[in-house]
Structure 1
């Protein structure tokens, strides 16, 4: 196996199925959407493929951001639950002390 083939296999293994599909579509055409050799339909299709690819990338970034916010909220929530448990323990201790004084 040549080094070039190995590099290509390694590169494609790290891509998502959507990225592989889009990469395959772009390789099939193997041209820039503004290439004068393309007819209008091919230009439109390639432009839409590239716009779709950008939309997917943008949505993936938004999803990463939302997941980060969710993790942050969960961490805050866990901290608040710990504070609540501690406060309940203190409260129960005070109640026990009052009952012992009676």
Structure 2
């Protein structure tokens, strides 16, 4: 049994803010914003995880956080595994910098 990828929608102002965050200097917030932006075109979580080189659970977590709390959900990493996902993202970013 496969799981359904729940759609993500963003208004014009949210889209503008997500693009700003995706291009910002904070690598963790940038990746979270890219997760949401990629999700707007109905990319499957597993495919997005491969594309961004992160765990599928991190993609799922941040999409769900955005659905529930919008942009604030990306900024607040308390509870629900958010800190673990932030740590994973930061670790990936560090390893990518070291490889460059």
> Is the pair's TM-score, using the shorter chain for normalization, greater than 0.5?
no
Higher relative contact order (CA 8 A, sep 6+): 2
- TM-score normalised by L of structure 2: 0.35
Q: Which has the larger radius of gyration?
A: 1
- TM-score normalised by L of structure 1: 0.34
